[in-house]
Chains A and B, each alone.
Chain A
């Protein structure tokens, strides 16, 4: 399927203008494409320039060079109002919206459409109600924003962006400060919106697990390296993550998609029941082993069921265990 990209950058250079003519380049040579119907996750360590890139794409700061095309038209040709109709944002900026209701907050998304006094027409009200429904926050419509949990607040802000009816939604760390379930809910919601409404969604995040799980496309941003873009699985299989997080003592394990504190060196064969061996593998990694296929003349663990493990020592003798804790004690 070939689809036109909604955001395209050509040799984009981002950063800040300093005093005088000097400029601080955070990242340059960016050739990016954002597609509708997809959730794209922007990953990068602190200082890699995630926020700078997002702010540049949101129009909050001018690019230092290169070109940004929105729906095929250069960003510089957009009026502020046209831009408001094209790109909706959800930011980490602190708001003072505690004293308005969720409905009023979402109705702010209709701002670019309403007249001088912001009077809502029937059509506006329908769109607000649909946005509230789609984000699953309709039951809180009459509550004040201050009464919401962090996760609900994020949903309300996403509903505001939906009411704005933009083809593109940019989100700055939407899952930061959320608890585990709200993170997943938020990502599932964004994914649903991308698919059902063919929105192009770009979000920055530190949540590697969720990005790999829910992201249709990942942008790996790293200082002074070209952006690595692709489907998460392709990036993992091509080894892009290993070099991306190539910090001393921190290693990306491409078999689990997780970051580990240090490289497990000793190999340990694991096989048997799928679920049991997955979690035995998890415990092994924590204790300095790398799970692998079972080989002869090597320690291995055969997982027979959830509560029955056989440890085979190099000399061929076996021991039985009934939980992972005992198993770990034996191999430590």
Chain B
């Protein structure tokens, strides 16, 4: 589960917004130079890039990002549709 995406949120949680943006810009540059943004198609046999189990299994998620837990989650924000990426 420890992919770049999760690292980004850990950075956000620990160091705040500015470092978070810096991390993202760095990630984009890394991708650009390594040309890692080819989207593959066809059948894959590692589910969700290896993050999901192959059999019936549920996960109990603990609160990993304590610094973000004080964010006020307004219902109106959640309801806003950011289709289709949401």
Pair from one complex? no
Using a CB–CB cutoff of 8 Å, the interface residues on chain A facing chain B are none
